[in-house]
Amino acid sequence: MVHLLYFAWVREMVGTDSETITLPTELTTVAALLDWLAARSPGHAAALADRSRIRIAVDQAFATAATPLNNPREIAIFPPVTGG
Amino acid sequence: MIAARLQSEPFDSAIVQTALLAGRTDLGAAVAFIGLVRADEGLVALTLEHYPAMTLAQMQAIAADAAGRWPDTIGTIIHRHGRLLPGDSIVLVVTASPHRAHAFAAAQFLMDWLKTKAPFWKREEWADGTTRWVEAKGIDDAAAERW
């Protein structure tokens, strides 16, 4: 089981701020996870349509599309940050 | 040591700076930067969303990185979250060091990295009732990458 978190417009487009799901074992990278998630609902698909606008944190550390997934507990998906 | 704080409440930069410098006579320079909500035409409010489980740890990591680059520099960074109004302060960076070059550089580094490596997102509210998520700027990425 992995806890997925969504922030900012990703949260709004997906339609929820979090969900807990069981990932198929063949999802071994962040890129594969995003492809799989995009098929979950039209909201997921819309939010993830442009991967250049998506940033990821795996277990609270920034990740890239190539980052491997080793039984993560928490994955956050969000737009590029705009604090400061 | 550069301390990091995350809060919704306003901060008083003078109090923060006084506390930072208290008891130190070896410092020759202090720099304070405050980021403010700018009242662009029609802007009603700015809401800072963040990633509660990660934000403070990330701010502390950025602070530790700065402390490693400028070991003679001390500082405090404060970032606010929640709904802010035009004129409100968003972020405070205070640094101090024996000479001004390190205090200036550390402050600029901290701001550049806070803008691009801390999980905050700004949502604008406009007078016509619409809202808009602020887009990340390439110029901010370029500023962060020069370090």
Question: Which residue ranges form the domains of chain A, and what is each CATH number?
Answer: 2-78 (3.10.20.30)
- The percentage of chain B sitting over the pLDDT mark of 90, rounded to a whole number, equals 95
CA B8-B110-B26 angle, to 5 degrees, is: 105
Angle at which helices B100-117 and B138-145 cross, to 10°? 130
The domain locations on chain B are 2-145
Of B116, B76, B74, B3, give the one whose Cα is nearest residue A84.
Answer: B116
Query: B121 Cβ partners below 8 Å, 6+ apart?
Result: A7, A8, A78, A79, A81, A82, A83, B48, B49, B50, B133, B134
For the domain covering B2-145, report its CATH number: 3.90.1170.40
Give the Cα separation of A37 and A35 in Å (integer). 6
* Nearest residue of A to residue B137, measured between CA atoms: A82
Token pair, residue A35, equals 């492809």
Query: A35 Cβ partners below 8 Å, 6+ apart?
Result: none
Assess whether pLDDT exceeds 90 at residue B103: yes
Sort out which chain A residues have CB atoms less than 8 A from B35's CB and list them.
Answer: 84
What is the tens place of the pLDDT at every residue in B119-136? 999 999 999 999 999 999
What average pLDDT does range B98-110 have in this prediction? 98
pLDDT at B7: 98
pLDDT at A31: 97
Which A residues in the span 25-84 are in contact with B, Cβ-Cβ below 8 Å? 57, 60, 62, 74, 76, 78-84
Please give the ipTM for the structure prediction. Answer: 0.95
CB atoms within 10 A of CB B28: 12
Assess whether pLDDT exceeds 90 at residue A59: yes
What is the tens place of the pLDDT at every residue in B50-102? 999 999 999 999 999 999 999 999 999 999 999 999 999 999 999 999 999 99
What average pLDDT does range A78-84 have in this prediction? 97
Sort out which chain A residues have CB atoms less than 8 A from B115's CB and list them.
Answer: 81-84
Of A17, A22, A18, give the one whose Cα is nearest residue A33.
Answer: A22
CA B127-B129-B135 angle, to 5 degrees, is: 85
Which B residues in the span 14-43 are in contact with A, Cβ-Cβ below 8 Å? 35
Token pair, residue B52, equals 């509660």
Sort out which chain A residues have CB atoms less than 8 A from B91's CB and list them.
Answer: 83-84
What is the tens place of the pLDDT at every residue in B7-54? 999 999 999 999 999 999 999 999 999 999 999 889 999 999 999 999
pLDDT at B138: 87
- Edge to edge, the sheet with strand A74-78 lists A18-21, A2-6, A74-78, A55-58, A61-63
